[in-house]
Structure 1
């Protein structure tokens, strides 16, 4: 790049062979149930060539100076990306520079053409190309171009799929700025549909990856783990709604806020989904036929590990701190999904067995233990390591837990009382031992000295 003008003088795309494995894993675990070509490995060249073409198009976008646009996939209405006419014309994301891989929201009954399952150059990409490269004949200097460029940029106010957010925004407060997401205009519904597809895909894992009878089961393990990873990605898209704040990039001359808190009702719906569909053990992910070909044990850790990644995101320090601040700055407390309310909803969902007098199975025991470990790490946080301090220089300061620690301790005291009452009601030995151990952990983290 010429540092004087920004002109791109030379650019290259380098690809490694493992991109083929990555594309196979993504395509199978997202839309394999819709495409018979993907239900037996290896994929035919006609399919694999199309998948490589999509990746190359994305990388060529970078050579033209385009950055990732993680706002894109949340700018289309969810129902539209299940519409044959819409996806044929507009694609399932407005930008090939988004990380919106394949249309995992699409259902079999939608009958979408196979070619529309794959990302393509979209309306945002054409808009960005115009903004960056179209000649402005009347302008004689770069400064003279600014009024026209500003006029074009304001099209984003009325055409939402022209909006943009880059890598720095992904993973932050806006639930519409996510990676690996499709249909995140409504992540709860999108993930509901995605989970229905994952249940279908699970039935295809073994036949697809064991077609070659001369091979071992390493491909079966890779494929199975890929589907679990896809489930985790989709589940995590929902967590961003809680404590979320929608963002639209603006300039001073534009009216209205840049940041708008996500409505309380939408956050409550997301929390219910997590309790019902994510933290409740997803039985369809457990296939005994597959497991007995891979290992003697380990699936509790595999499923609980996926749930733990979602739980960790949900109770991250940054999210808890943001919820405290959103409540403090809200005009009406009734409009806020407070941290206290969220913690109560989470506790009642994670520990629902103790209220119903039910036994707690091994998967749920592991998840509940993970929850207690997460709470202990915030109530009695370890001193930051040298690596933590170094990373803070690049990713922002380490969030102190002091603002939300009192609420967490109050939750633990409430849970301890409820566990004490539940222990006397259970006749299952493993459950009783687990609940007593949970009380011991709470005592240790609170230093109650009982």
Structure 2
């Protein structure tokens, strides 16, 4: 895709997102909080409405027409998702409420049963709390030890440090594919290959990569991978766990109840085959079906096209931010073509708290995130308690970046004038 072609992508898709057509505080909405959650296209919203208006019934439990249609759509979404990430089998896809639940599933079903005193779990200092706290639970319960990969001087994953941490005691490596704060694209292929040389399992948190680039779990050869639907144009309340088939088969159920059973007696039960043994109770049916619709939509746009366009936006965003002297950026700079990192910028501004930045930008219709972004240990390491984050998606435009930069400069000037008056 040429740069000229890439620039047309947002203009082709923006009309598909009703929420982007509104004004906020009298200004056209600029939505730059996509790392927290993405907006939903009309096709996904229509899928939700269609289910509740036409097919609302429980899945797997009835032979009447509505239940059959609901079941076909629900299981069809699993097929779509398996193809989207190139899983070897549809049975390797487990629907969960979100990525946090998917990680907890692995932590409780595998970690609590397979790890013990003397075993080591390697994480990184940039992990989202969802890929940190569950492993703290496992370590506290089993006696396993947590170890953390540090950062390079340019605030990326320190591969040399990782090599030093690996040993025969390493049983699990759990890292994010893309940092939601630093935006760095971690070398997961190498991370996985090195871990497997020591016989360790690898879990990849792909929440910030699945919506933005093509993924191939077979090529990665990860043991597990997790993501949340709401960051990839699907509703909230739905996510998934990918796991290699033999590994999932060996893991005991995470939750007990309906759907995950084969036969139940008063004193014991037998369990359903994959993937249903991990999907206890009535699932998020509409949300899973809508996740399938989101996969259809993203596939129609093209994940390569999305990645190429976001590279172009990233280059433009960083070029503008680098020209504001009061702005301090975190994470690596993009390459000249905008590649090599995520389409997000985490930053602070001298003398202006991130919360104040976000509040003032909202008055101009610009939505960004402020806070610790669920990475408090990383923020302590960086020496800041809060940062601002502008995160983009394929429906954002250069013109929106221009509006964001103009509003950011106005906000900096406003606070600068206050400090000048105080002197």
**Alignment TM-score, normalising by the size of structure 2:** 0.25
Q: Which structure's relative contact order is higher, taking Cα pairs within 8 Å and 6+ residues apart? A: 2
Structure in which a larger fraction of residues adopt strand: 2
Structure in which a larger fraction of residues adopt helix: 1
**Alignment TM-score, normalising by the size of structure 1:** 0.24
